[in-house]
């Protein structure tokens, strides 16, 4: 089975929109999301545009704040603090990566945890870790949403995460633990990664290496969640010896690149019981969860929890 | 090999004391640790006394603040806030468990993260998780100290943690990940725990069940870190069918109970290459790391990092 991301993302966006419609019916304004983009990285611009588009679908007001890439650390922190204090913004997202002279971990600490809709402030990571989550990182939360939507049992399962990034692999450990999985986290220093993969009931791959996991590695009937989004030019593609299908050819002609995941989808699809495609899988969830987090932050800030559930039950 | 905790704890305390002596030589006062004890739980009283004793050894001033067990949440928070603000205290520790009417996770959030010498505030957990640790939880930090002291290689090893508590199992995931281990975390919902144990190069057990892990489970030549501290009365002991040796008999006579770990030490000792005894292993490290954390917090609060390393090099 292909675990398509679209119906899951659509469901989340629809629910966010329904809640916001209820707020508006009760004369409460839509939440507003501030997206800070430092510099003009073209890939970041694509992501930021995409966030604006999805916000619109969900009924969230989004405001992109473009900042010169030469901004000093101190000035950026001042900007963040003024957004923290402004009643206008329910959520603040800092589009990553930041220019080299700005240390991400330092900058993120200055976000107000209650507005940190990306769920990456240490306070939010710590709350997730100890089992009292508030705003959780978007991509791993999307992964859990996919598993739940398709009713894939997590409790008691052997889960293997490959990749230990702060925004995917590490938080996912606790989101799976929360669901009572036995969780292993592997990475570039892991010995005999293939043996680990062979034993996993559910495999999560988030390392950013095109088609890293081969079909022969996985356990028959397992579930595979491919979190990788690698864009390859025709030259990269040919260097890796990947076959060029008609749709890949069309991508090269249209966009100059093609997107591929961290697993060799064509080799895995017939062996596993379920797998997320790339594109069209986890990637679609990240922004949907961001919108849900923005609503959640807003509801919390305005103390609307009880009102909203009351209105929903009317 | 028995991984005795004493030389490791002694080394840490000695280093803390040496640093504090340097501070005093330069007319800087000793750091002060506030230990908050709510109620009169006799076990907590033992722990608190032990902390006072070790603080003295390390040259740290400790102050135990006894609070009536009926204190309201609001009043306790006020007390904590006044300690946060007082320049007198470098570190604040809330002795757990708290009385039932006080929710630990809520109370802990009111500690100032820079004085949280137990390393359990969400902000400190989150910093540990993302690989920028500041104050880290005492027991798992002690575990890492033991492995390093005895030069047990962690990088690339298959580590299995049994137990997912917020103060041991969960933080240990990241402390081992930081050392490049492949880490699995298992718990009561894990299927076939014995198979997991059999594959582990280094096994960490922190579930609070007397002699849970049997000798037949472990891999030959592996390393075992037993974090359990279970006190059993003679009646408990007999019910479990554990043999009563002379030293256990002596404990029953002297104290009314005997301490035993989460592994069956006698069965494991000849199979594994190294194991921590209980008592006398990890338990001794917890308080030593607490003293080190108190010094660390003080140095950070007073901006003494550079001075101290300069004085050390004189």
The pLDDT, as a whole number, for residue A314 is: 80
As a whole number of angstroms, the distance between CA B151 and CA A113 comes to 39
As a whole number of angstroms, the distance between CA A54 and CA A62 comes to 9
Q: Which residues of B touch A111 (CB under 8 A)?
A: none
pLDDT exceeds cutoff 90 at B202: yes
Same domain, B158 and B259: yes
The distance from CA A260 to its chain's CA centroid, rounded to whole angstroms, is 16
Q: Is A164 close to B158, i.e. CB distance below 8 A?
A: no
- SS3 of chain B: helix, strand, coil, percent, to 5: 45, 15, 40
The pLDDT tens digits for B217-233 are 999 999 999 999 999 99
Q: Which residue of A has its CA nearest to B186?
A: A182
Q: Is residue A204 part of a domain?
A: yes
Mean pLDDT of A189-202: 96
Q: Which of B126, B174, B177 is nearest residue A122 as measured by Cβ atoms?
A: B126
Q: Is A189 close to B126, i.e. CB distance below 8 A?
A: no
Interface A-B: count of C-beta contacts within 8 A = 105
As a whole number of angstroms, the distance between CA A276 and CA A200 comes to 16
- What integer best gives the mean pLDDT of chain B? 96
Q: Is residue B198 part of a domain?
A: yes
As a whole number of angstroms, the distance between CA B206 and CA B227 comes to 5
Q: Which of A105, A130, A185 is nearest residue B122 as measured by Cβ atoms?
A: A130
Cα dihedral B202, B190, A157, A147 sign: negative
Same domain, B67 and B180: no
Q: Is B132 close to A105, i.e. CB distance below 8 A?
A: yes
Same domain, A174 and A279: yes
Q: Which residues of B touch A191 (CB under 8 A)?
A: 156, 158, 182
Same domain, A106 and A142: no
CATH code: domain of residue B159: 3.40.50.720
The pLDDT tens digits for A68-117 are 999 999 999 999 999 999 999 999 999 999 999 999 999 999 999 999 99
Q: Please tell me the total count of domains within chain A.
A: 2
Residue A300 CB partners (closer than 8 Å, separation 6+): A114, A134
The pLDDT, as a whole number, for residue B12 is: 98
Cα dihedral A194, A200, A205, A210 sign: positive
Q: Is residue A15 part of a domain?
A: no
Confidence of residue A193 (pLDDT cuts 50, 70, 90): very high
Q: Is residue A17 part of a domain?
A: no
User: Quick check: bond before B97 cis, omega within 30?
Assistant: yes
CATH code: domain of residue B71: 3.40.50.10860
The pLDDT, as a whole number, for residue B239 is: 95
Q: Is A182 close to B191, i.e. CB distance below 8 A?
A: yes
Among this protein's residues, is A68 annotated catalytic?
no
Same domain, B163 and B261: yes
Mean pLDDT of A179-185: 98
Q: Is residue B304 part of a domain?
A: no
Q: Is residue B293 part of a domain?
A: no
Supply the DSSP string of chain A, one letter for each residue. -B--SHHHHHHHHHHHHHHHHHHHHTT-PPPEEEEEEES--HHHHHHHHHHHHHHHHHT-EEEEEEE-TT--HHHHHHHHHHHHH-TT-SEEEEPSSPPTTS-HHHHHTTS-GGGBTT--SHHHHHHHHTT--SS--HHHHHHHHHHHHTT---TT-EEEEE---TTTHHHHHHHHHHTT-EEEEE-TT-S-HHHHHHH-SEEEE-S--TT-B-GGGSPTT-EEEE---EEE-HHHHHHTT----HHHHHHHHHHS-EEE-SB-HHHHTTTSSEE--SSSSTHHHHHHHHHHHHHHHHHHHTT-HHHHHHHHT-
The pLDDT tens digits for A258-300 are 999 999 999 999 999 999 999 999 999 999 999 999 999 999 9
Same domain, A162 and A86: no
pLDDT exceeds cutoff 90 at A156: yes
Q: Which of B123, B177, B189 is nearest residue A123 as measured by Cβ atoms?
A: B123
Same domain, A171 and A99: no
CB B160 within 8 A of CB B200: yes
Residue of B110, B185, B186, B195 to mutate when probing chain A, most A C-beta within 10 A: B185
Chain B residues with CB under 8 Å of a chain A CB are 105, 120-127, 129-132, 155-156, 158, 164, 166, 170-171, 173-174, 177, 180, 182-187, 189-191, 196
As a whole number of angstroms, the distance between CA A198 and CA A195 comes to 5
Same domain, A73 and A148: no
In chain B, the N- to C-terminal Cα span, in Å, equals 38
- Domain interval for residue A185: 138-284
The pLDDT, as a whole number, for residue A213 is: 98
Q: Is residue A306 part of a domain?
A: no
Same domain, A108 and A144: no
Q: Residues A37, A79, A118, A262: which is the catalytic one?
A: A118
As a whole number of angstroms, the distance between CA B165 and CA B187 comes to 10
The pLDDT, as a whole number, for residue A43 is: 87
Q: Is residue B295 part of a domain?
A: no
pLDDT exceeds cutoff 90 at B205: yes
The pLDDT, as a whole number, for residue A208 is: 96
CB B161 within 8 A of CB B169: yes
The pLDDT tens digits for B272-302 are 999 999 999 999 999 999 999 999 999 999 9
- What integer best gives the mean pLDDT of chain A? 96
Mean pLDDT of A140-146: 98
Q: Which residues of B touch A132 (CB under 8 A)?
A: 105, 122
Active site positions of B, annotated: 51, 95, 118
Q: Which residue of B has its CA nearest to A160?
A: B184
Same domain, B279 and B146: yes
Give how far Cα B178 sits from Cα of A263, B129, B200, B274, Å.
25, 9, 18, 22
The pLDDT, as a whole number, for residue B314 is: 80
Q: Which residues of B touch A130 (CB under 8 A)?
A: 105, 120, 122, 125, 166, 170
Same domain, B168 and B270: yes
Residue of A109, A127, A178, A182 to mutate when probing chain B, most B C-beta within 10 A: A182
CB A33 within 8 A of CB A301: no
Give how far Cα A11 sits from Cα of A49, A133, B22, B169, B300, Å.
21, 22, 62, 35, 48
Q: Which residues of A touch B170 (CB under 8 A)?
A: 129-130, 174, 177
Tell me if ipTM is over 0.90: yes
pTM: 0.95
Ramachandran region, residue B97 (left: φ > 0; alpha: ψ -120 to 50; beta: rest): beta
Cα dihedral B12, B17, B294, A103 sign: negative
Q: Which pairs count as long-range contacts for A188-196, CB under 8 Å and 24+ apart, including other chains?
A: A189/B155, A189/B156, A189/B180, A189/B182, A190/A162, A190/B156, A190/B182, A191/B156, A191/B158, A191/B182, A193/A162, A196/A160, A196/B182
State the nearest Cα–Cα gap between A193 and chain B, in angstroms.
Answer: 10
State the nearest Cα–Cα gap between A132 and chain B, in angstroms.
Answer: 8
Mean pLDDT of B188-195: 95
Same domain, A82 and A31: yes
The pLDDT, as a whole number, for residue A47 is: 92
């Amino acid at each position: 089975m292909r675990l398509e991301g679209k119906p899951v993302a659509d469901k989340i966006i629809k629910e966010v929109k329904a809640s916001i419609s209820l707020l508006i019916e009760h004369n409460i304004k839509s939440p507003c999301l501030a997206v800070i983009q430092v510099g003009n990285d073209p890939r970041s611009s694509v992501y930021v545009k995409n966030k604006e588009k999805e916000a619109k679908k969900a009924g969230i007001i989004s405001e992109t704040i473009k900042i010169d890439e030469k901004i000093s650390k101190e000035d950026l922190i001042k900007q963040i603090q003024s957004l923290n204090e402004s009643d206008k913004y329910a959520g603040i997202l800092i589009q990553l990566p930041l220019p080299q002279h700005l240390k991400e971990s330092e900058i993120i600490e200055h976000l107000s945890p209650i507005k940190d809709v990306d769920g990456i402030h240490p306070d939010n990571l710590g709350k997730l870790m100890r089992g009292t989550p508030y705003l959780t990182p978007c991509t791993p939360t999307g992964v859990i949403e996919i598993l739940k939507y398709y009713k894939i049992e997590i409790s008691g399962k052997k889960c293997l995460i490959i990749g230990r990034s702060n925004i995917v692999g590490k938080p996912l450990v606790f989101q799976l633990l929360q669901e009572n999985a036995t969780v292993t986290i592997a990475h570039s220093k892991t010995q005999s990664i293939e043996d680990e993969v062979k034993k996993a009931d559910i495999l999560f791959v988030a390392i950013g290496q095109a088609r890293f996991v081969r079909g022969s590695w996985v356990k028959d009937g397992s579930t595979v969640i491919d979190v990788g989004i690698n864009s390859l030019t025709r030259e990269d593609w040919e260097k890796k010896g990947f076959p060029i299908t008609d749709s890949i050819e069309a991508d090269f002609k249209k966009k100059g690149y093609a997107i591929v995941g961290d697993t060799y989808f064509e080799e895995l699809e017939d062996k596993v019981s379920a797998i997320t495609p790339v594109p069209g899988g986890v990637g679609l969830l990240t922004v949907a969860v961001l919108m849900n987090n923005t609503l959640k932050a807003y509801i919390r800030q305005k103390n609307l929890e009880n009102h909203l559930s009351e209105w929903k039950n009317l």
